[in-house]
Amino acid sequence: VTASEIVHTARFRVRYAETDQMGVVYHANYLVWCEIGRTELIRSLGPSYASLERDGILLAVSDASLRFHAPARYDDQIAVETRVESVRSRSLTFAYLISREEGESRQRLVSATTTLVALDPSSRPRSLPAAVLALFGNPSPAHHA
C-alpha cells in the first residue's frame, strides 16, 4: 500500500460540553476530533497510539490548519475521515474530512491537516522505526527523509 490509500473513518456524537453560546461546536474541539480520527486510524493499522507511547515513540503536533465550512451542532452524528497524507522519517502528515451524517446524507463541516513529529520520552526529535513507517505505507523511509 501507499500512504494515500490508508484511510479510516471514526464516528461519534457531539457532546453538550463541546458546544458554545453560538449554539454550535466551539472551533478548538475539531482538533480534538482530528486526534480521535488519527488514533483510530493508527489502531486500525495494528498498534494503538497508546502502545507506541509505551514503546517510547511520542507524536507531537507541529503544524495544524483547519478550514471551517459549516458548524456541527449538539448531538450531531459526526464522521471523521482520516487519511495519511505523507510519511517522512521523522514526521507524519494526516488529512481529515469531518462531516455530519444523517441517514444516507453527509455534509462536509471541516477539512484539516496536521503534521506530527516523532519525539522520544525526553521530548527530543527521533526517527520513526522502520516497522512504524511500514505501517503507514512507507517501506523505505530513507528515500523520503
CB of 15 to its own copies, least distance (A): 6
Residue with smaller CB distance to its own copies, 116 or 138 = 116
Among the listed residues 69, 2, 77, the one whose alpha carbon sits nearest the alpha carbon of residue 33: 77
Cβ neighbours of residue 123 under 8 Å, at least 6 residues apart?
Answer: 58, 60
Residue with smaller CB distance to its own copies, 6 or 24 = 24
Active-site pick, 20, 63, 75, 120: 20
Single-letter amino acid, residue 83: R
Give φ, ψ of 120 to 5 degrees: -90, 175
Residue with smaller CB distance to its own copies, 31 or 130 = 31
Read off the C-alpha cell for 115.
503534521
Rg (CA), the chain: 16
Distance, in Å, from the CA atom of 145 to the CA atom of 143, rounded to the nearest integer, reads 6
Single-letter amino acid, residue 129: P
CB of 64 to its own copies, least distance (A): 5
**Residues forming beta bridges with residue 68, ordered by sequence position:** 110
CB of 6 to its own copies, least distance (A): 20
Interface with its own copies (CB under 8 A): 12, 15-17, 19-24, 26-29, 31-32, 35-36, 39, 48-50, 53, 58, 60-68, 71, 74-75, 123
CB of 53 to its own copies, least distance (A): 8
Q: Is 20 an annotated catalytic residue?
A: yes
Residue with smaller CB distance to its own copies, 119 or 130 = 119
Question: Which residues are tagged catalytic?
Answer: 20
